[in-house]
Copies of this chain bind each other. A is one copy, B any other.
Amino acid sequence: MSENGGSLILALHRAVHATTRALAHRLPGLDLTTPELNVLARLASGRTTSVRDLAAGTATKPSTLTSALDRLQGRGWVRRELDPADRRSFLVSLTSDGQPVAESVRAAMDDIERACLAQAGEASRDGFLAVIRCLTEVP
């Protein structure tokens, strides 16, 4: 496999590209972009969230989410309702049509992660998450 570049950050980038392709391969015909996948994965638990929370949780810009949510809503998979407690804000949730789609996305992610941890060893998980966490919080 030639050379790895010796950089955690370069390795990180390669992994994102690879998992994006692996997800597309496991979800044929769904034709979902990365932000759409991330939104569905986060909603799969049945949670209702604001756009702001989705932006923070999926590391995408609110303006990117607007169009991603537009597409998901256009497919009938996601719903936006005004939050009665703060009418500037939306409550984003899955529709009954969207629920199984989101679950299949989540299942594909879990499948990849399970296969990966089985190979790398469960013990690797902690080290992975520790490095990910500090890379995510680096100023």
Contacts and interface: CB of A to CB of B under 8 A. Distances in A.
A129 B10 contact: no
A12 B136 CA distance: 9
A27 interface: no
Interface of A: 2-5, 7-19, 22-23, 25, 34, 38, 41-42, 53, 56-60, 106, 109-110, 112-113, 115-117, 119-121, 123-139
Given A10-B57, A13-B38, A109-B7, A130 B138 contact: no
Given A10-B57, A59-B13, A18 B125 contact: no
Q: Which 10 A-B pairs have the closest CB atoms?
A: A127-B127, A124-B127, A17-B59, A128-B131, A120-B130, A14-B59, A116-B134, A124-B130, A15-B135, A18-B136
Given A9-B113, A41-B10, A136-B15, A126 B129 contact: no
Copies of this chain, complex-wide, total: 2
Given A22-B138, A112-B135, 9 more contacts: A5-B41, A8-B132, A9-B112, A10-B41, A11-B129, A15-B136, A115-B134, A115-B138, A127-B130
Contacts of A11: 129, 132-133, 136
A38 B10 contact: yes
